[in-house]
Amino acid sequence: MEAVEEIRREGETRLFWRTRIGGMEKSWKAEITSQIPDKQIAWASVDGTPNAGVVTFEELGPERTKVKILIDYQLEGILEKAGDALGIPSNRVEGDLMRFRQYVERKFKKSEFHRNGADVADHSRFYRDAAVSNEPTHEEIAARAYEIFLKRGSAPGREIEDWLEAEKELIDKKKR
């Protein structure tokens, strides 16, 4: 995550976070309030910068997972309010999601995955095989996502869903 400078585990369900956003350092302790393996993780700050959120993972198929993030945060000061009005926080989260996706795909493409102490040779649940030509390019997905955005009336707030829908359409189209 781009703005995160430090995350430190301070107990079974407690984490310390330190970030730098717009030149300002923020820190807080968060409590994990819910954790369902391969499905969901939720948290809430217990001191410092007020925030809470939930990340859910939904398997869409053997090679696809939809990741949804809902973050609730309290704006502090004029700079944060101005940044929020410009959409900076949502753009940062979207960028972090894209980097997370790249990290997961790269990690499971290059390394062995262990489950219950045994090697699993088939990593196809975690990445698209680079040798398969049906993977759309970043530019193709972006163009289709923009078409979907315009079709639904150019209202902001669903950019990630548009991207996922565009990617799924293009993959399905190339498989035919």
Residue 10 has what pLDDT? 92
Distance CA 137, CA 31 (A): 39
**Domain boundaries in the chain?**
133-176
Largest CA distance in the chain: 53
Residue 127 has what pLDDT? 33
Distance CA 98, CA 91 (A): 11
Residue 125 has what pLDDT? 36
For the entire predicted model, the pTM comes to 0.56
Sign, CA dihedral 113-37-47-82, equals: positive
Each residue's pLDDT, cut to its tens digit, for the chain (176 residues) gives 778 889 899 988 999 999 887 777 889 999 999 999 889 999 999 998 888 999 999 988 877 888 888 888 887 777 777 877 877 777 888 888 888 888 877 777 654 444 444 333 333 333 333 333 456 777 777 788 878 888 888 777 777 787 888 878 887 787 66
DSSP string, 91-130: HHHHHHHHHHHHHHHHHHHHS-EEETTEEE---TTT---T
Residue 54 has what pLDDT? 92
